[in-house]
Structure 1
Amino acid sequence: MSFRRWLLSIIIILIASFSANAKIYTTPILTDASELLQTSPEKALEAVNRYLSQRRLSEPKESSRVHVNDETDHTVRTPLNTINALQIKAQAYSLLNQPEKAISTIKSAQTLASDNGLTYTIFETRLLHAKIYWDNLKNSAIALNMLDQVDNDISQSQPLKLTKQIKVLQYQSSMQRAVIESALDNNDQAEKLFAQAKRFLNDLDDQEERITYQLTIGHHYLQQKHYDLALDRLLSGYWLAVESGKKAKIAHANYELAMLFEQRNVYDKALEHATQAGEFFEHFQHTQPLAKTLALIASIYEQQSRYNLALVHYFNALDQENQLRHNIVHSAHLRLSIARVYLHLYNYPKAEQYLQQARQLAQQASNETIQAEVQILQGKLELAEGRLEKAISTLQAGLISASRSGQRELQLQGESLLSETFEKQHDYYNALLSQRRYEQIFASQQESQLKSHVDVFKQQQRMLERSLHLEEMERQQFENEKSIYNQKKVSLFLLSLIALLIIFLIRRHRIVKHLKIRLGILRTEFYTHPRSGLRNLRMLNARLPNSLQQSSANFEQWHLGEIINEPLSDRLRFALFEVPFLKHLYLQYGYQHGLEVERQFGDYLKEQICKPARLYHFSDAMFLYIEPNSRLNTEPKQLADSIQQLVDNFLIERQLDSRVRIGMAEYPFLPRAYTAINDQELIDILLMAANAARLNSQTEQGSQWVHLSAIDAAPAASFACDNIRKACIQGIDNGLVKVQSSSAKEFNWNNDHDSDKNVI
């Protein structure tokens, strides 16, 4: 069993290595759900749950017949697609801030991957598990430990080393580590990991991941206040997304650029990018990205002192958050922002009301940072209302919380307000102490910013050095081009010959292209039935000129999938069935209505027949159906019943005759000799069987079918004659051909054969 699992994992990894590096889902439902993760995780969760509930998990197959991702049956789901669905479901839960459900779901996916021995998928799921753990629980120690274990197991996996997919896993691991180190303010380590991830990314052909990389490292620089570097990365990600047409990525880049310009006080550009992001997210109502974008637009308006517009957008964002009901911290921030705007408008009762709501949410979330913001804003409100003693105690509590959470901006704001409050109380000593603490924090912040500027300067120095190196390379290139120009005179004759050859090839290409277009038109007209729209069997027309016969036969071998000349290991089942209602349709309902119904019947059959099965319009009311016959013990009655069901389903709302007359046979007709009977002879056998079914239907009610098959021991010499019908009748008489039928009635095959002599 372990060998089978090992073999299965090898097959999956090899298949994945030949595909694109971006994740590709074979089921459209999962593709749509994956795309919805970026904009509407709620809808992605609904789609995945619907997929998992409507399909059952497929049974395990033998390793020799494994189909890694085969879901032609829409009632089942393969283990690999089930794992993909669980991964999407876990990510949706993570984005909806439901960590317990997310971790439980990703563990189920990991268990299923282990049970099926899917090596690459196991590592992919474990990396996703670590990402979800960090995004939701922010436990860097456990997340990094999980990544260490995954990296160690990847390095010891021999099958993965044979494929390019190991680069994908290494890239994902490096990016996750870089994001965690960035959040922990370990800038040097984060940038080393980003550089390492870039090296892995260069080996992959994944444009979408390049966009994600640029936006992620741009966000990192933005968080570290490296605005020049952040602008460079975010603009690179933005234009890559525009070139690729990734609208969700464009919206994400616009949001990050809006945050950057807001922090740099370039409010017109910030508002432009935030509005573009909001226009995209507006199509997905009740989503977290829309709420965040509305809040950002409101913040920009607030800093522009356009308080009424800021209130409108804050309330819209709050309405979105109330609809979502899954992020208490965001809701608390919004109420705090609304209270701040009301404070600017001197509407103290409203400011107090929203501060109280923000305080309750902050306590519920146990978030010290938001609690510090609430206390400092509360102190500012009390200062404005003249409650100085209350303001001092509130501001001091807020400063303690801000100091514990390391929020320097809040500390600066709190110390400034506290100094102003002491000054209004004429307590100049404490006011001076608060001012000195403010200056110390401000100096420390300036020192940090200076260090950041030094780092940016070093980065710019390296970029300048690369630019100078590029200029030197361009100079050397110019010299090389100059030397090449001196050799052009010698090569002029050869270039002339090449030009003539190119002109000849272009002219030949145009002629071939024109002939292909004409051939395509002829194929459509020649191989399509004019009324039903189905393919027909013109290759059996022996009256064509020799040249047309040859081209027709060659085309039919490709167009029909080589009706008989299949690989010798494949078996085919043929059914020639007659639909009587097509004969009487035009007489009963007229020409126009008859054309419409027959076209509808042809379109219906096209939809119902799934590859590799094929269907051809043989004559006015007769159709040839071909399907693989890998299961030799399948009864002919099953095929006859399925054809009958097709016709019944089409005529369920039409008052027409639903009887069917079917003749069936298999290829090879002679098991011991694959090539003993050609296509025309096989069609003749099917016609003989269909005729017998037709004669039965004249004396018996309902649909009829006849199945002819040679026994395993039938010699090919028994059918080596010019008249295959006569050979079949003799084979029936001699017991070499087995007859199965829907009727127990005996057949008079001699009459059938005698009638052939009268055909001219």
Structure 2
Amino acid sequence: MSLSRWLVSALVILAASFTSHAKIYTTPILADANELLLTSPEKSLEMTNRYLAQRRLSNPKELSRVHVNDETDHTVRTPLNTINALQIKARAYSLLNQPEQAIRAVREAERLAQDNTLAFTILETRLIHAQIFWENLKNSATALRMLDKIDQDIAKSEALQLTKQVKVLQYQSVMLRAEIASSLENEGDAEKLFTQAKRYLPSLEESGAMIEYQLALGQHYLRHQHYDLALDQLLGSHWLAVEQENNAMVAQTNLALATLFEQRKVFDRALEHATQAGEFFEHFDQARPLAKTLALIASIYEQQGRFNLALVHYFNALDQETRLNHDARSAKLRLHIARVYLQLYNYPKAEQYLQHTRQLAKQSGNEAIQIESQLLQGRLELAQGRTETAVSTLQAGLIAASRIGDRDLQLMGESVLSHAFEQQNDYYNALLSQRRFEQLFSSKQEDQVKSNVAVFKQQQRMLERSLVLEEMERKQFESDKALYKQKNISIVLVSILSVVLLVLLRRHKTAKLFQERLRLLRTEFYTHPRSGLRNLRMLTIRLPNSLQQSSANFEQWHLGEIINEPLSDRLRFALFEVPSLKQIYLEHGYQKGLELERQFGEYLKAQVCKPARLYHFSDAMFLYIEPNSRLETAPAQLADSIQQLVDNFLIKHQLDNQVRIGMAEYPFLPRAYTAINDHELLDILLMAANAARLLSKKEPGSQWVHLSAIDAAPAASFACDNIRNACLQGIDNGLVKVQSSSAEEIIWNNDHESDKNIS
């Protein structure tokens, strides 16, 4: 039991040394050194010493160039970063159990903080100083005096009380006081201090603060044998550390849980947690906690009767403690080794290690180890048959144990002494020793019962509070639920109204946008840019049937078709060219030409009435379409109508009124409506217009040419890829009738070739 309590005390010191030091360092080297304190204090000390050696301390004159906490020049170190480095150095020495060097470093840091009047840093350094006095020197009086001075300085400074950082100092101070009170067996004061420290947790921004608090409180309960409370706190700390992936804290909580399960004799769980902790400490070469873990595992094996495994782990732990020069712990481990050898009946080895134990215990001044070694010496002498010597040794050890008030040692001594008297046949003294043993055991049991009663009362109060809290939470939940329903209904209604409004606004905006796009499309894309008349820009594009079906509300010419009348109707087409439109740009300039062409387009648009249609085919060419219900209408009438239409505008503007007109009808073949499509019909019109142009070169004035297939013309005569060649052959064969405004013979261009002398 004494080994377990020693391990718990050591764990408390280890946890306190790592409490809430997570602050921001402006220098990456110091930040890395601070991180390495948990895993490798030797490496951290090496980095800090190198930082202090390689950089010089900035002078007061340089503070205008180098801020007190900012190092723009990597050859100097600011006073604040120097103090931070000394603090890390002191904590590293403390972890390495070198208190003299740690105190020297922390005093230097405190002096430098006072020289630079850094109030918060002074208090922070004094807190580290107090931790060293307690953790390494066990000087509780000096540590408490320093903590009192820190609290007084914080209370006097209103500026410090307004900062958030001072909460960290106050939390650390209260936690250190709680650890000291717990170790000094002031259980009530320790619990009050732990409760006080818990109030600071919400104001701390460090993620590991709750883990460290639960670990320290669990170790306090474990030290005072409140196992249920300890298990609750330690498990909470363990799983919170696992959740935050804080491996260092996971290892510490594993070691604390292993100690708890070892005291409760749950050896399988104790071995599981101790092994996990040992793997972490061994990986990061942390000799101090590794030695404690190995000693704990050895104690478990010893209690299980697996003495060989226990010896192996005791020896490994002894190697680690020898490296750390811990005489007291080395003496304790040698005592355990001697006890194992005694149980293995290897008396010479047990005698050898007991002798070493007494020497080391005497050097370290640890009276408890000396007494325990004396009692174990009595057991050894009794086992060797030296009963009288054993009785004397045991009686001397019991007197010393009663003087220091160690009940566990008295119980062990009285049990062995009773057995020794019994071997001497001194049954009276054996009975007296047995009665003293029973009295001590009864007293211990009473204390345990009192402790259990106190724990039970505390659990009862907690249960009562939890029941009241549950009822309050239930009522609050019902109120929140009703409010939540009303809130959700309101939110849903508002959301629906908002969505409907947004949809309506969106649809209105989209409709306006589409209308504007459609207007622009009709105005700009489907009209000629100069005349403003509809053009045949999409005549060469064949859209898919699905698009044609979905766009049935558009005019058919939008889809590239100019023949959009029912098959029962007939159409007359006239493709006329106005050469004056080409000349006005040359004669009057670009701006004047644009203006006249726009006026001409507006004029034609106003004059042509439905069902007739007019398209701007190319620069000076226009396509006119009208129904042709009367087959006997002469082409000359249409030509005269177009001539008169053009004359009314051109003569007014004193322009040449010459017009060249090519005409044809749909269906071009009366016996086959679908034999000639719109593209082929345009080719026929272009042939006729070209013929009219050639005639105008021979004779002055306007000319027109009309092409039409005879009624008996077969559709097969025009079933070829080149409609122009088919028409030429039809003219030669008499299948196509040619009418014109001139008596001159028309010379047709073969093979789809255009005239080289285009005017």
Indicate conservation of the 8 Å contact 1:298/1:314, yes or no. Answer: yes
Instruction: State the distance in 1 between where 2:34 and 2:484 align.
Output: 52
Indicate conservation of the 8 Å contact 1:178/1:194, yes or no. Answer: yes
Indicate conservation of the 8 Å contact 1:286/1:323, yes or no. Answer: no
Aligned counterpart, 2:85: 85
Indicate conservation of the 8 Å contact 2:39/2:286, yes or no. Answer: no
Indicate conservation of the 8 Å contact 1:40/1:287, yes or no. Answer: no
> 2:152 matched to 1:143?
no
Aligned counterpart, 1:108: 108
Aligned counterpart, 1:95: 95
1:270-669 equivalences under 5 Å are 270-285=270-285, 287-325=287-325, 327-480=326-479, 481-482=481-482, 484-485=484-485, 488-489=488-489, 491-497=491-497
Equivalent residue of 2:200, what SS?
A: helix
Further displaced range: 203-212 or 71-80 = 71-80
CA drift of 1:317 comes to: 1.1
> 2:261 matched to 1:261?
yes
Instruction: State the distance in 2 between where 1:403 and 1:173 align.
Output: 35
Equivalent residue of 1:426, what SS?
A: coil
Instruction: State the distance in 2 between where 1:128 and 1:158 align.
Output: 23
Instruction: State the distance in 1 between where 2:63 and 2:284 align.
Output: 44
Q: 1:41 to 1:396 in 2, by over 3 A?
A: farther
Instruction: State the distance in 2 between where 1:351 and 1:341 align.
Output: 8
1:146-161 equivalences under 5 Å are 146-161=146-161
CA drift of 1:441 comes to: 1.3
> 2:129 matched to 1:122?
no
Indicate conservation of the 8 Å contact 1:286/1:324, yes or no. Answer: no
Q: 1:435 to 1:475 in 2, by over 3 A?
A: same
Aligned counterpart, 1:23: 23
CA drift of 1:410 comes to: 1.2
Q: Deviations over 1:639-694 (max 9, x none)?
A: xxxxxxxxxxxxxxxxxxxxxxxxxxxxxxxxxxxxxxxxxxxxxxxxxxxxxxxx
Unaligned ranges ≥5, structure 2 = 1-19, 505-759
Instruction: Supply the AA of the counterpart residue of 1:228.
Output: D
Q: 1:56 to 1:483 in 2, by over 3 A?
A: closer
Instruction: State the distance in 1 between where 2:65 and 2:308 align.
Output: 67
Aligned counterpart, 1:195: 195
Indicate conservation of the 8 Å contact 2:66/2:72, yes or no. Answer: no
Instruction: State the distance in 2 between where 1:28 and 1:426 align.
Output: 74
Instruction: Supply the AA of the counterpart residue of 1:128.
Output: I
Instruction: Supply the AA of the counterpart residue of 2:120.
Output: Y
Q: 1:72 to 1:488 in 2, by over 3 A?
A: closer
CA drift of 1:22 comes to: 3.2
Indicate conservation of the 8 Å contact 2:381/2:390, yes or no. Answer: yes
Instruction: State the distance in 2 between where 1:502 and 1:371 align.
Output: 87
Equivalent residue of 1:274, what SS?
A: helix
Equivalent residue of 1:268, what SS?
A: helix
Instruction: State the distance in 2 between where 1:202 and 1:490 align.
Output: 34
Q: 1:495 to 1:471 in 2, by over 3 A?
A: farther
Aligned counterpart, 1:535: none
Instruction: State the distance in 1 between where 2:138 and 2:353 align.
Output: 29
Instruction: Supply the AA of the counterpart residue of 2:485.
Output: Y
Instruction: Supply the AA of the counterpart residue of 1:217.
Output: L
Instruction: State the distance in 1 between where 2:471 and 2:246 align.
Output: 37
Q: Deviations over 1:237-284 (max 9, x none)?
A: 111211211111110000000000000000000000000000101113
Indicate conservation of the 8 Å contact 2:56/2:75, yes or no. Answer: yes
Instruction: State the distance in 2 between where 1:502 and 1:295 align.
Output: 73
Q: Deviations over 1:322-374 (max 9, x none)?
A: 2222x111111111111111111111111111111111110110100111111
CA drift of 1:288 comes to: 0.7
CA drift of 1:470 comes to: 3.2
CA drift of 1:47 comes to: 2.2
Q: 1:306 to 1:482 in 2, by over 3 A?
A: same
> 2:171 matched to 1:171?
yes
Equivalent residue of 2:60, what SS?
A: coil
CA drift of 1:95 comes to: 2.3
Aligned counterpart, 1:537: none
Instruction: State the distance in 2 between where 1:487 and 1:320 align.
Output: 65
Indicate conservation of the 8 Å contact 1:57/1:77, yes or no. Answer: yes
Number of residue-to-residue matches in the alignment: 484
Instruction: State the distance in 2 between where 1:179 and 1:85 align.
Output: 26
Instruction: Supply the AA of the counterpart residue of 2:212.
Output: T
Q: Deviations over 1:264-320 (max 9, x none)?
A: 000000000000000101113361111111111111111111111111111111122
Unaligned ranges ≥5, structure 1 = 1-19, 505-760
CA drift of 1:221 comes to: 0.8
Indicate conservation of the 8 Å contact 1:21/1:206, yes or no. Answer: no
Further displaced range: 330-339 or 400-409 = 400-409
Instruction: State the distance in 2 between where 1:57 and 1:393 align.
Output: 65
Instruction: Supply the AA of the counterpart residue of 2:432.
Output: L
Aligned counterpart, 1:536: none
Further displaced range: 451-460 or 184-193 = 451-460
Q: Deviations over 1:195-236 (max 9, x none)?
A: 111111222222212211111111111111011111111111
Q: 1:227 to 1:501 in 2, by over 3 A?
A: farther
Equivalent residue of 1:207, what SS?
A: coil
Indicate conservation of the 8 Å contact 2:69/2:81, yes or no. Answer: yes
Instruction: State the distance in 1 between where 2:476 and 2:498 align.
Output: 26
Instruction: State the distance in 1 between where 2:498 and 2:157 align.
Output: 52
Instruction: State the distance in 2 between where 1:401 and 1:197 align.
Output: 39
Further displaced range: 80-89 or 25-34 = 25-34
Aligned counterpart, 1:52: 52
Q: CA RMSD in A?
A: 2.2
Aligned counterpart, 2:571: none
Instruction: State the distance in 1 between where 2:280 and 2:32 align.
Output: 17
Q: Deviations over 1:119-164 (max 9, x none)?
A: 1000011111111111122222222111111111110012212211
Indicate conservation of the 8 Å contact 2:66/2:73, yes or no. Answer: no
Taking structure 1 as the reference length, what is the TM-score of the superposition? 0.61
Q: Deviations over 1:582-619 (max 9, x none)?
A: xxxxxxxxxxxxxxxxxxxxxxxxxxxxxxxxxxxxxx
CA drift of 1:391 comes to: 1.0
Instruction: State the distance in 2 between where 1:124 and 1:158 align.
Output: 17
Instruction: State the distance in 2 between where 1:270 and 1:21 align.
Output: 30
Q: 1:65 to 1:42 in 2, by over 3 A?
A: closer
Indicate conservation of the 8 Å contact 2:66/2:78, yes or no. Answer: no
Instruction: State the distance in 1 between where 2:24 and 2:403 align.
Output: 46
Further displaced range: 408-417 or 81-90 = 81-90
Aligned counterpart, 1:674: none
Instruction: State the distance in 2 between where 1:292 and 1:214 align.
Output: 21
Percent of pairs identical after alignment? 68
Q: Deviations over 1:567-586 (max 9, x none)?
A: xxxxxxxxxxxxxxxxxxxx
Indicate conservation of the 8 Å contact 1:371/1:401, yes or no. Answer: no
CA drift of 1:171 comes to: 0.9
Q: 1:72 to 1:396 in 2, by over 3 A?
A: farther
CA drift of 1:63 comes to: 6.6
Instruction: Supply the AA of the counterpart residue of 1:432.
Output: L
Instruction: State the distance in 1 between where 2:503 and 2:43 align.
Output: 56
Taking structure 2 as the reference length, what is the TM-score of the superposition? 0.61
Equivalent residue of 2:53, what SS?
A: helix
Instruction: State the distance in 2 between where 1:200 and 1:359 align.
Output: 46
Equivalent residue of 1:168, what SS?
A: helix
Instruction: Supply the AA of the counterpart residue of 1:476.
Output: K
CA drift of 1:190 comes to: 0.8
CA drift of 1:502 comes to: 12
